[in-house]
Amino acid sequence: MTSIAAVLEGRDLISMRDFTRDELLAFLDEAERFEDFERPIMAGKIMGSLFFEPSTRTHLSFTSAVQRLGGTTLGFADARVSSTAKGESLADTIRMVENYCDIILIRHHLEGAARLAAESSNLPVVNAGDGTNQHPTQTLLDLYTIRQKRGRLDNLKIAFVGDLKYSRTVHSLIETLTHFDNEIFLISPTSLRIPSEFLEDLDARGTVYSEDEDFFSLSSDVDIIYTTRIQEERFPDPIEYEKVKNAYRIDLETMLRVGTEVTLMHPLPRVNEIATDLDDYPGAAYFDQARNGVTVRKAVLCMLLGIDRD
């Protein structure tokens, strides 16, 4: 077993903040070994999958990872079909479910729910998204994709475009990238600027960054453009959403003005922020992200369960 696997065994995966730079690199090395790997090394293992908030992509990606390795899943995809509807506390639900499975996956609309779940359980717990807070396997697959496409995690020019205020995905990736030495470009409407705490963090870590409203302020040597859906459900006020929802539609023509060798990333689902004519752009990496999600999650599950790939 590699050292990173030894580090993660029996632990929980709640927040990217729990990783050091070396642990991240070791994790990515280990994850690579799960690419296209399909032997039943999880046979007999059950993942309890508790989606208090629906999520097709994350749910199916984890389920696929488990099934590819011969394990099984049980749980619910929807809080309406859960005993929470009868007034049960989260801690009690966890203490019930840990009798039925070997590892717990939880998505919840409240920040901190995954940490509470981990504290309530003797089993490893994986955070599949707690409100606007953390979704660590999304960040891990993003890092995995960046390294896969650019061959490194340092010395990159990385632009984040769109909703930088509410996007959990963007916050977590930016924060994690401070372990590495890159230049960050933050492109958003004024009303969706990144919260100042993240800028303070970038300053503290010595990461060079700039903010702009203009997409075309990006220079042609940018390596990565990471865009996100403007998520209506995160806006307290629907009028604010209407104002900005179409702020940064990108199509093939737009991209060609910026560069021809950019890696274009998006956590999906997209609505209209990336035109479908970009699907043939050579740097379009968003469907690869979905694919890498399964690889990364196979690695996470095995490490937390202490299952050796070999």
Which of the residues are catalytic? 57-58, 86, 107, 135
Q: Which of 1, 7, 25, 60 binds a copy of itself (CB under 8 A)?
A: 60
First-to-final CA distance of the chain: 8
> x-or-dash pattern for a copy of itself, window 90-109, by CB under 8 A?
-xxx-xxx-xxx--------
Q: Which of 3, 11, 20, 56 binds a copy of itself (CB under 8 A)?
A: 56
Q: How far is the CB of 189 from a copy of itself (least distance, A)?
A: 19
Residue 17 DSSP label: G
CB 103 within 8 A of CB 304: yes
Element (H, E) at 13: none
What are the phi and psi torsion angles at 245 (to 5°)? -65, -25
Among the residue ranges 22-30, 46-54, 107-115, 201-209, the one whose residues contact a copy of itself (CB under 8 A): 46-54
Quote the tokens at residue 197. 């705490």
Q: Is cis: bond before 269, omega within 30 of 0?
A: yes
Decide if residue 306 touches a copy of itself (CB under 8 A).
Answer: no
Closest C-alpha to 182, from 224, 216, 215: 224
Decide if residue 238 touches a copy of itself (CB under 8 A).
Answer: no
Q: Considering only CA atoms, give the Rg of the chain.
A: 19
CA distance 20 to 23: 5
Among the residue ranges 20-28, 86-94, 179-187, 215-223, the one whose residues contact a copy of itself (CB under 8 A): 86-94
Strands 183-187 and 125-130, how do they pair?
unpaired
Decide if residue 61 touches a copy of itself (CB under 8 A).
Answer: yes
Decide if residue 63 touches a copy of itself (CB under 8 A).
Answer: yes
Interface of this chain with a copy of itself, residues 256 to 285, rule: CB under 8 A = 268-271, 276
Q: Which amino acid type is present at position 120?
A: S
Which residue ranges make up the site for a copy of itself (CB under 8 A)? 38, 40, 44, 46, 48, 54-57, 60-61, 63-64, 67-68, 72, 74-78, 80-83, 85-89, 91-93, 95-97, 99-101, 229, 231, 233, 268-271, 276, 287, 290-291, 293-294
